[in-house]
Amino acid sequence: MELEQIDTLVTIQQLEKENRILRKKLERSETACRELEQTNHKKENLLRQIIKDLENSQKEVKEKRELEQTLSELQRTQAQLVHAEKMSSLGQLVAGVAHEINNPVNFIHGNLTYIEEYSQELLKILHLYQHHYPNPVSEIQAQTETSELDFLQEDLLKIVNSMKMGTDRIRKIVQSLRIFSRMDEAEFKLVDIHECLDSTLLILQHRLKRKPELPEIRVLQNYGNLPLVNCYAGQLNQVFMNILVNAIDAIEELNAKRIVQESKENSLQITISTSTIDREWVRIKIADTGVGMPESIQKQIFNPFFTTKPIGKGTGMGMAISDRIITETHGGKLTCRSNPGIGAEFTIDIPVCRQCSNSV
Ligand SMILES: Nc1ncnc2c1ncn2[C@@H]1O[C@H](COP(=O)(O)OP(=O)(O)O)[C@@H](O)[C@H]1O
Ligand SMILES: [Mg+2]
């Protein structure tokens, strides 16, 4: 063989060898590739499962949240129902008690007038006796001294007067309790709010007038153009009365705290403003320049029997009644803003026509 041919043979053998090695490598890499594919497939499946699990748990969380919401709504409704039930039985109880107290108190109150009259008549006769028989027999003289006749005469009328004040107070409380617990009397009517305000102011004239210890309280009336409002006139008057009386009390209280020179006439003022909010609502604002109240008191003023006034003056029912009349009976809103030492402002918003606004 020629040398050239031998070289070619060797090269071919080498090439074949390399070829075999390469094929083996290829086979191995193909297996690796297949294994990789399988692993990838498994991974993909696993990921898909994880996503599915996640989606499921998300759904569960959402459902749980919805359940929790429903539960808390149910609890709130239940609390409201319990509260409503309690209030209604409390209302019935209050109405019953007020009714029972009403008769005997009126009985006592009515008879006190006669007691006063009869006592005065008896005293007149006694004075006549004393005048015409200045020197009675010794037995009468002795009894006059033991009975302390002079003191007795003086005290008798005082006692009758304080009894009258007492029964007057009980009657007022009973009346408030009856209004508070029986809101559904009387009927809805078309009412001129300005007329109501004016008549309430008229009744309160004696408290607004100048007094020795207090200059006149001025009332500013910023009346807007109001439509007739469908409401219970008597109850609305009651609300105006309660708010105005409180305003006067607050002004008097602030004035009592001041040194005389300090009280300037224009600082004793009640401002009543009326306006329409839109075609369906009207607003009445009553502001005073009285003592005002801190946040802590403001929060409580609508609670029945809450009062900061001395014993014998406040019943604590005025604002509770007013709130009920405005919110429950008339479907409106009663709010209060105040700065201690500067004054308070009450805002009443009521629908022009409750039935109409209910149906909207
Ligand atoms: N215009 C006002 N200025 C300051 N405080 C007020 C005013 N109106 C109400 N208040 C406070 O609200 C309390 C409750 O008022 P109310 O229910 O009318 O009861 P009362 O007048 O019998 O105390 C009052 O005792 C007072 O502390
Ligand atoms: Mg009051």
Indicate the domain borders of the chain: 101-181, 189-359
Q: Write out pLDDT tens, residues 10-63.
A: 999 999 999 999 999 999 999 999 999 999 999 999 999 999 999 999 999 999
Is 307 a pocket residue for ligand 1 (Cβ < 6 Å)? yes
Please tell me the predicted confidence (pLDDT) of residue 251: 94
pLDDT above 90 (res 335): yes
Please tell me the predicted confidence (pLDDT) of residue 181: 65
pLDDT above 90 (res 261): no
Find the 65 Cα to ligand 2 centroid distance in Å.
Answer: 46
Better pLDDT: 94 or 104: 104
Beta bridge partners of 231: 189
φ/ψ of residue 350, rounded to 5: -135, 145
Show the beta-strand stretches assigned E in the chain: 189-191, 218-222, 229-231, 269-276, 281-288, 333-339, 343-351
Q: Which of 222, 201, 228 is nearest to 353 (CA)?
A: 228
Is 314 a pocket residue for ligand 1 (Cβ < 6 Å)? yes
Which ligand sits closest to the CA of 297? 1
Q: Write out pLDDT tens, residues 159-215.
A: 999 999 899 888 877 877 776 665 445 678 888 999 889 888 887 888 998 888 888
Identify the CATH number of the domain defined by range 189-359.
Answer: 3.30.565.10
Please tell me the predicted confidence (pLDDT) of residue 266: 55
Is 288 a pocket residue for ligand 1 (Cβ < 6 Å)? yes
Report the nearest atom of ligand 1 relative to the CA of 290: 3
Is 344 a pocket residue for ligand 1 (Cβ < 6 Å)? yes
For residues 40 and 28, give the distance between their C-alpha atoms in angstroms, rounded to a whole number.
18
Work out the pLDDT band at 88, boundaries 50, 70, 90: low
Beta bridge partners of 191: 229
**The two three-digit tokens of residue 127, written as one number:** 């004075």
Please tell me the predicted confidence (pLDDT) of residue 359: 41
Please tell me the predicted confidence (pLDDT) of residue 92: 78
Mean pLDDT of 239-262: 85
For residues 41 and 312, give the distance between their C-alpha atoms in angstroms, rounded to a whole number.
89
| CA-to-CA separations, 45 to 28, 41, 42, 52, in angstroms, rounded | 26, 6, 5, 10
Among 135-149, 189-203, 346-360, the range scoring the smallest mean pLDDT is 346-360
Are 250 and 344 in contact by the 8 Å Cβ rule? The answer is yes
Is 321 a pocket residue for ligand 1 (Cβ < 6 Å)? no
Report the nearest atom of ligand 1 relative to the CA of 317: 17
Q: Which of 240, 319, 348 to mutate to test the pocket of ligand 1 (most atoms within 8 A of CB)?
A: 319
Provide the terminal-to-terminal Cα distance of the chain, rounded to the nearest Å: 116
- Say what the pTM is: 0.60
Work out the pLDDT band at 265, boundaries 50, 70, 90: low
Are 196 and 160 in contact by the 8 Å Cβ rule? The answer is no
pLDDT above 80 (res 1): no
For residues 151 and 134, give the distance between their C-alpha atoms in angstroms, rounded to a whole number.
18
Please tell me the predicted confidence (pLDDT) of residue 311: 80
Report the nearest atom of ligand 1 relative to the CA of 314: 22
pLDDT above 90 (res 249): yes
Is 172 a pocket residue for ligand 1 (Cβ < 6 Å)? no
Report the nearest atom of ligand 1 relative to the CA of 242: 18
CA-nearest residue, atom 22 of ligand 1? 314
CA-nearest residue, atom 11 of ligand 1? 301
Find the 259 Cα to ligand 2 centroid distance in Å.
Answer: 25
Among 85-99, 121-135, 235-249, 335-349, the range scoring the smallest mean pLDDT is 85-99
Residues lining ion ligand 2 (Cβ < 5 A) are 246, 318
